[in-house]
Amino acid sequence: MKHPAQVIVRPLITEKGTRLRLLENQYFFEVADDATKIDIKHALKQLYNVDAVKVRTLWVKPKPKRVGMRSYGHTRAWKKAIVTLKPDQSIEDFNL
């Protein structure tokens, strides 16, 4: 089993994430590519001491970008997790 800091790469703070955090108690995280929903749930319990009711994962597809004048590249693909917590719990890292 991976260390919890290796499973959860970073919290994502976006406009949509802020709205869902306030309305539905959902939090967004960038997670490791090989992380499962169970790994994410255990990592949240150890890092933030919260219980996840629901964990949803999705892959963010790479977007095309210009690298030079005539050459093109793309951003990297990464995995996102949307975590729903119990109504009485919250994560302090998101309260800026």
Domain count, the chain: 1
Rounded Cα distance between 62 and 73, Å, is 10
Instruction: Give the pLDDT band (50/70/90) at residue 92.
Output: confident
**Is 52 contained in some domain?**
yes
**Is 93 contained in some domain?**
no
pLDDT of amino acid 24: 94
Q: pLDDT digits over 48-87, tens only?
A: 999 999 999 999 999 999 988 889 999 999 999 999 999 9
- Tracing tokens 């955090």 back to the chain, one arrives at 21
Average pLDDT over residues 12-22: 93
Is residue 51 within 8 A of residue 85, CB to CB? The reply is yes
- The CATH number linked to 43 is 3.30.70.330
**Is 77 contained in some domain?**
yes
Residue range(s) defining the domain that contains residue 60: 4-87
**Is 27 contained in some domain?**
yes
